[in-house]
Structure 1
């Protein structure tokens, strides 16, 4: 009986450590829905001690000195622990003015993907892939919350520039071009596609290239430094993009205008964002491009190639209502589901599909901080970003007051969200770092 009691106490302590970590992850808008599967995933990626320590880290970027105070460890020990976590891409580390700054990324897009962006022997990637598949593809709560809570989402689609006419290309802004992201990034890295790697372990991967998903800037710098991803130059980055075009992959990237940190090249069968687009299309889980395909009824033959290739299942075949050809079909676009990627244009054998501008432009947050703030407002979590140090009594009191304000009716919250997307706020956001 005493041994059984000790076992139960130890199990409770371990579960408590990971529960604290889950609570910490869910202080950020891109959290992780609690689940037994989530605890198993975290237990593979974090030791019990690491879970306890990471649970105490700030939401905003921090230094080793800050972590040392929170952990109540000496600076040398803290630095060693932080560097170990960064080597496994649990933390991201960057250099700012000669000082190392650490950030705990969200699970997605973050340390979930990083765990499978390379082949590694320190964890069982087969088992981890099976757990990820069950948590993301079978259980629905996490992926639904990640992609459908709120109006502002994690990612957006980039239009395939190769299918634009010269006239259309003139109206595409720089931040809407994947090529411009590649050309202007301070660092470019390529890693194994997390989604296809996961599916490969399950025997379900397609034939699309594996080493093709890109990260940029400070995120890429950290992943390169710890051999999680491979550094490439602009020329190779552009080549990889054109390879993605050849395989009809969709460019799904960070939903910001400045300092885009990732662009994944997604297939419809393996990739989480495309699966979410099909599962929850009417809830708009992914921000679209500013284009929609238009079908020329007179020349469309109803061959169905666009239907097969569309990753969001936004293309269908309908009757042409032609009395002379009663069996004739033509393609039709469901505009509520369409991502505007342009993948359907190139394979059309009669050039019957053309991209046209959407009647209303899609709003894209300025940068990562801007997006995080807007997402937090929409999800009633802004107090977590503002009052990061929950240990202070005054902060807890203010957070409680702000929490009440954030429970206003949806219409008022929507108004606040639109205000937070204003240029007035952008001037403030440029002075903040999250």
Structure 2
């Protein structure tokens, strides 16, 4: 699908232009190219776009929306319920039973949510084509999404390869996020399901996208995620480990909202890590791969497994064996995820602490403030 990126506002109802302006109040922004307008027209009616464009960034109640929209509260609640039922807003229930609503950003947000279950109320193949164009083919959105100093996501270490005796904080462990979240939801992987519609998906597990806490609550309520207990969550994490998937999740120490189990071929975050390597679009773990050149046999498994092409093979410089290879790490690209160490049959790769620790914001709100 080819697009002319030039947008003529006359081609779109003013409501969609105002909605685009509203989306650009989020720190990461949403460059206003034609695919974005086409995505919004698939997801929102013109009337909904006009209303959503007026919503605040902070969580709000139906009463707040009614005041903003100048309609009665019951009508506002009906509109919000229709939006929440399609995961275009997320609703969470307070202790007193009142629902609070939040307009999520496009990503991580309603772009993903729209593809996290099989649906017949929206053209998901068309959405997949539009998302691929906007998020992968065109550079502007990914550059704006991952271009700041404080990123929305971070990588979790593969806990199977943590060196003995090395301290790892609980917030660095996906297992601890799973054990302490309430509730936890499982959905289709947005990235691989999108690529399935384009006949470009890999064979990694599909039903493995993890959401937690308030985000999971709203998605479970409206059928975009199925609730699972910690035991099933840990089983799914092990399945992700077995497929050498990278855990990429919410860049916060507390109340993590999501963990994606990412492959290098479909995942937009890992594609961004390769494409915009100089921007350092993902926060790494506090570890980095270290190669034991004496143990390395040059098999190349680490090169084939690394999702961001941080491993390469070079000459071993053995005159008697001119074709012999050794692995070499491109340090500035390494995520510290550990999949290379996991697949190394020669025990030639370990993870070592980085010289300087990577800063992780305390909460989602803290991260938003830092990114603003």
Q: TM-score, normalised by structure 2?
A: 0.96
Q: What is the CA distance between 1:283 and its match in structure 2?
A: 1.3
CA RMSD of aligned residues (A): 1.1
In structure 2, C-alpha distance between the alignment counterparts of 1:87 and 1:53, rounded to whole Å: 16
The secondary structure found in structure 2 opposite 1:285 is: coil
Aligned twin of 1:28: 26
In structure 2, C-alpha distance between the alignment counterparts of 1:13 and 1:324, rounded to whole Å: 68
Q: Which stretch shows the higher mean deviation, 27-36 or 305-314?
A: 27-36
- The answer on 1:349 being equivalent to 2:351 is no
The secondary structure found in structure 2 opposite 1:340 is: coil
| Maintained 8 Å contact 1:159/1:177 | yes
- The answer on 1:230 being equivalent to 2:240 is no
Aligned twin of 2:125: 126
Aligned twin of 2:3: none
| Maintained 8 Å contact 1:30/1:107 | no
- The answer on 1:44 being equivalent to 2:42 is yes
User: After the TM superposition, which residues 56-67 of structure 1 pair with which residues of structure 2 at under 5 Å, given as runs?
Assistant: 56-67=54-65
In structure 1, C-alpha distance between the alignment counterparts of 2:297 and 2:127, rounded to whole Å: 45
In structure 1, C-alpha distance between the alignment counterparts of 2:60 and 2:287, rounded to whole Å: 40
In structure 2, C-alpha distance between the alignment counterparts of 1:314 and 1:263, rounded to whole Å: 22
- The answer on 1:213 being equivalent to 2:213 is no
In structure 1, C-alpha distance between the alignment counterparts of 2:275 and 2:303, rounded to whole Å: 17
- The answer on 1:139 being equivalent to 2:138 is yes
Aligned twin of 1:96: 94
Residues 35-93 of structure 1: CA deviation (Å, up to 9, x unaligned): 11100000000000000000000011111111001100111100000111011100010
Q: Which stretch shows the higher mean deviation, 137-146 or 234-243?
A: 137-146
Aligned twin of 2:113: 114
The secondary structure found in structure 2 opposite 1:67 is: helix
- The answer on 1:315 being equivalent to 2:311 is yes
In structure 1, C-alpha distance between the alignment counterparts of 2:163 and 2:156, rounded to whole Å: 16
In structure 2, C-alpha distance between the alignment counterparts of 1:283 and 1:329, rounded to whole Å: 30
In structure 1, C-alpha distance between the alignment counterparts of 2:25 and 2:196, rounded to whole Å: 32
| Maintained 8 Å contact 1:192/1:212 | yes
The secondary structure found in structure 2 opposite 1:265 is: strand
Residues 243-295 of structure 1: CA deviation (Å, up to 9, x unaligned): 00000000000000000000000000000001001101121000000011111
In structure 2, C-alpha distance between the alignment counterparts of 1:81 and 1:136, rounded to whole Å: 28
Q: What is the CA distance between 1:109 and its match in structure 2?
A: 0.2
Instruction: Specify which structure has the higher proportion of helix.
Output: 1
Aligned twin of 1:361: 357
The secondary structure found in structure 2 opposite 1:346 is: helix
Aligned twin of 1:197: 193
In structure 1, C-alpha distance between the alignment counterparts of 2:17 and 2:63, rounded to whole Å: 25
Structure 2 spans left out of the alignment, 5+ residues = 1-8
Count of residue correspondences = 363
Aligned twin of 1:298: 294
Q: What is the CA distance between 1:97 and its match in structure 2?
A: 3.0
| Maintained 8 Å contact 1:192/1:211 | yes
Structure 1 spans left out of the alignment, 5+ residues = 1-10, 377-434
Aligned twin of 1:85: 83
| Maintained 8 Å contact 1:20/1:52 | yes
Q: What is the CA distance between 1:144 and its match in structure 2?
A: 1.2
In structure 2, C-alpha distance between the alignment counterparts of 1:12 and 1:281, rounded to whole Å: 37
- The answer on 1:275 being equivalent to 2:274 is no
| Maintained 8 Å contact 1:14/1:48 | no
* Greater Rg by CA: 1
Residues 113-172 of structure 1: CA deviation (Å, up to 9, x unaligned): 000000000001011101111111111100111012x2110100000001113312xx10
In structure 1, C-alpha distance between the alignment counterparts of 2:28 and 2:68, rounded to whole Å: 23
Aligned twin of 2:5: none
| Maintained 8 Å contact 2:28/2:146 | no
Q: What is the CA distance between 1:324 and its match in structure 2?
A: 3.5
